[in-house]
Structure 1
Amino acid sequence: MIEAAMIWNEPNNKSHWDVALDPDWAIFGETVKQAGAAIRAANPAVTRVLGGMSPIDPQFVHRLAGYGVMDAVDVVAVHGFPLDWNLWSIHQWPDKIAEIEAAVAKPIWVTEVGVGTFGADEVQVFGIERTAELLVGRVPRIFWYSLFDLPMEWGAETRHREAEGSSYYRHFHMGLIRPDGTPKPALDSYARVAGDVGLMQWFHYQDPRLDEAVAWMKRLGTRHLRTGMSWADSFRPDARGWFDRQMEALADFDVTLTFCFTPEHLGLAPHHTSPPRDPAQFADFCAEMIERYAPAQAARAVA
């Protein structure tokens, strides 16, 4: 069920890693190395993915390689949103992949790519069709972000919020399905490539959309799913019960599970973007989740 474990999400984006507390990413490098070793020890068959970088930056890869991070992962991931947030053309996707391939001798996955409907539904239709043309067959894994729009009342996980201006509000229009459950025109375009393009969908703690998402993905023919499991949420009441329910519901998909978000009481600062005071505690969480949901014994039994 768990094909891959992703170590953090967008670590070079200050909305997900506080670079003021770790300006050279040295703590992040140590966090990845310890988590990668823990995941490998828990189940060597699980692919370890370096959290998708955003922006796509070969210099960031070189910096992490200098810390020995690349020995702790099997795949390097990138995220791109050229029609919403990135200052490059959607047609440059092959060039962006090539930049990272030149920086590291690892497979490259696109673990988030999306186009929103902030401006017009038709933009998303073009975006998914052109993205599939450019990336299917070019990289081993592609995850479209996302199945559902983010409800406005939930707020977006970003440090900038309304200070971003219109950029902030784009977060709420990235889905293929509106908050009221009605499909957007691009859903049909996605269905035509669902066998080759997975979905990236965050499920919040006790997310009421989980069962609906599973039903949609099965109807669409989605095989690969990327989602998250929050270290911070692991300290909520009945967290293991929620994690169990989530993973049971997703049992029919090949899941890339993203481990991220620092508990407030374990960070250098009380925020989910903070580097942990002790990276070993994050590594322990990663190992526990792999042992719980992708135990090596079960993998050997299936083999």
Structure 2
Amino acid sequence: MIEAAMIWNEPNNKSHWDPELDPEWSIYADTVKRTGAAIADINPAITRVLGGMSPIDPHWIERMRGHDALDAVDAVAVHGFPLDWNLWSIHDWPAKIAEIEAVVPDKPVWVTEVGVGSFGAEEVQEFGIRRTSELLIDRVDRIYWYSLFDLPQQWGATTRHREAEGSSYFRHFYMGLIRADGTPKPALDHYASVADRMGLMQWFHFQDPRLDDAVAWMKRLGVKRLRTGLSWADSFREGALDWFDRQMEALADFDVTVTFCFTPEHLGVEPHHTSCAKDPQQFADFCAWMIDRYAPRQSVRAVGG
């Protein structure tokens, strides 16, 4: 069910990894090395992906190289939202990819999150997905559009300062191709024309009621590749394994890149999901358990071009 595994989400973004606890990213690098080795031990055919960076930062990649973390992964990932959060033009996408390729010439660069929201106007999202597909489909091997569904306002977005971030926070709720009420936005039509070449990135919350609708939409659109997540923190909830099984069974018809992240409060240096773990090996063990359960050695599908 899994073709690739990403080790954390946006580890150079303080909304997802607390830099005050790990200012040199040495603990993160140790986590990558332990997790990469654990995944390879269970199934060496799984593509191991360095947590998608946001912002796109070649200096951070050099830091990872200095910690020997790049030896534990097979691909490097970037995330970009130039019409919503980043301070660069959407037309700069090829240059941004080239910046990372220049410092990691031996590994493919994947775009594991790219999106344009409809916060200001749905026409902006239409332009954004057209231009993104023009710039990236023939430029990188993997692209995942974020996202299929708008985030319901009542759920809240995973950021550090929430409403205090102003419009930057509220943009999180308008990144989908389908509104929270289930109706499609105009940009969905263009996505449908490239769905076989541009995957989707969709987080599913614990016991997410949108799972079956998402699968139906993706099959209707012709989606082949999906990136989603399995939460280490959620694994300690009651009924977690039943939920993980249901989620992964529902996604069995897609080539899945799974992102492992979110620290359980009781296992963090501080009690927060962005905290580094007190024992990074425990995170590596969780990832190995999930790979063994959902992508054992004999079942993996080779990653193609």
Please say whether Structure 1 and Structure 2 have the same fold, judged by a TM-score greater than 0.5. Answer: yes
The CA deviation at 1:137 is 1.2
Counterpart for residue 216 of structure 1: 217
Matches within 5 A, 1:131-142: 131-142=132-143
Distance 1:247 1:43 in 2: 17
Distance 2:172 2:243 in 1: 25
Tell me by how many angstroms 1:297 deviates.
3.1
The 4+ residue runs of structure 1 with deviation greater than 4 A are none
Matched, 1:32 2:29: no
Distance 2:41 2:97 in 1: 30
Q: What's 1:100 paired with?
A: 100
Output the aligned Cα RMSD. 0.8
Distance 1:61 1:281 in 2: 24
Correspondence list, 1:36-115, <5 A: 36-104=36-104, 105-115=106-116
Which secondary structure state, in structure 2, belongs to the residue aligned with residue 192 of structure 1?
A: helix
Counterpart of 1:266 in structure 2 is: 267
Within 5 A, what are the aligned runs for 1:1-303?
A: 1-104=1-104, 105-299=106-300
Alpha-carbon offset, residue 298 of structure 1: 3.2
Letter in 2 for 1:27: I
Tell me the distance in 2 between the aligned counterparts of 1:68 and 1:22.
Answer: 16
Structure 1 unmatched ranges of 5 or more: none
SS in 2 for 1:296: coil
**1:299, distance to aligned residue in structure 2 (A):** 4.1
What's the TM-score once normalised by structure 1's chain length? Answer: 0.98
Letter in 2 for 1:61: I
- Distance in 2 separating the partners of 1:190 and 1:225: 14
- In 1, distance between residues paired with 2:170 and 2:70? 35
Letter in 1 for 2:146: Y
- Superposed CA deviations along residues 74-130 of structure 1, whole A, max 9, x for unmatched, are 000000000000000000000000000001121000000000000000000000000
Letter in 2 for 1:34: R
- 1:125-177: CA deviations, max 9, x gaps? 00000000000110000000000000000000000211111100000000000
